[in-house]
Amino acid sequence: MAGLEGIEQPGLPGGTTAARWSPAVADEQALRAVELFGDPTEAEVRLPSRPESAASARRLAQVVVLRQWALSPKLTEDTVLLVSELVGNAVRHTGARVFGLRMLRRRGWIRVEVRDPSRGLPCLMPVHELDVSGRGLFLVDKLSDRWGVDLLPRGKTTWFEMRVCDR
């Protein structure tokens, strides 16, 4: 299962397996991702534009939101999902070799940016009940407080922001 490699897969009746999230394994993999790729709160992290990079981006988002910023598990879960969607779009639709991930926090907000070299704009499409794909921006639109695209001289940055309660 995408993003769950290295996590124990318990057996179910009938020989099938189900993914089981393990905080210790997930934390270890997330910390390893920061060591390998860098901290997206300090500078843009460049990742290869391959499907498996979505797992690395999810791990980076998890360690930043949950451990560095000490925000709620629910906000972490939503952020990780939305990072996965933006990364998936960058990998599938841009033809890029690499994409960048940056995470920012300011009072009351977090912001996540995914930069790629394509100037093609993402399009929020209507979603139907039986659709099996094309829900990415719909999820970003529903779960984030705001989102958008900034065109750059060479590419674009797709971003979302979420309100947070500062303690």
pLDDT tens string 24-40: 556 777 778 888 889 99
- Judge whether 137 lies within some domain: yes
- Judge whether 11 lies within some domain: no
- Judge whether 31 lies within some domain: yes
- Judge whether 17 lies within some domain: no
Taking alpha carbons only, the member of 82, 153, 87, 91 closest to residue 119 is: 153
- Judge whether 26 lies within some domain: yes
* Window from 30-34, 92-96, 138-142 with minimum mean pLDDT: 30-34
User: In terms of pTM, does the model score above 0.85?
Assistant: no
Alpha carbon distance 51, 105 (integer Å): 27
Alpha carbon distance 166, 39 (integer Å): 22
**pLDDT bucket at 128, cuts 50 / 70 / 90:** low
Tokens in use for 120?
């093609």
Alpha carbon distance 58, 6 (integer Å): 14
Q: Looking at the predicted structure, is the pLDDT value of residue 126 above 70?
A: yes
Look-up of token digits 């996540």: 112
Q: How many domains does the structure of the chain reveal?
A: 1
Contact 118, 96 (CB under 8 A): yes
Q: If you average pLDDT over residues 71-76, what whole number do you get?
A: 94
- Judge whether 32 lies within some domain: yes
Q: If you average pLDDT over residues 115-144, what whole number do you get?
A: 81
Quick check: helix, strand or coil at residue 38? coil
How high is the pLDDT of residue 152? 95
Alpha carbon distance 78, 144 (integer Å): 8
How high is the pLDDT of residue 80? 95
- Judge whether 112 lies within some domain: yes
Residue 48 belongs to domain spanning: 22-163
CATH number of the domain encompassing residue 88: 3.30.565.10
- Judge whether 9 lies within some domain: no
**pLDDT bucket at 48, cuts 50 / 70 / 90:** very high
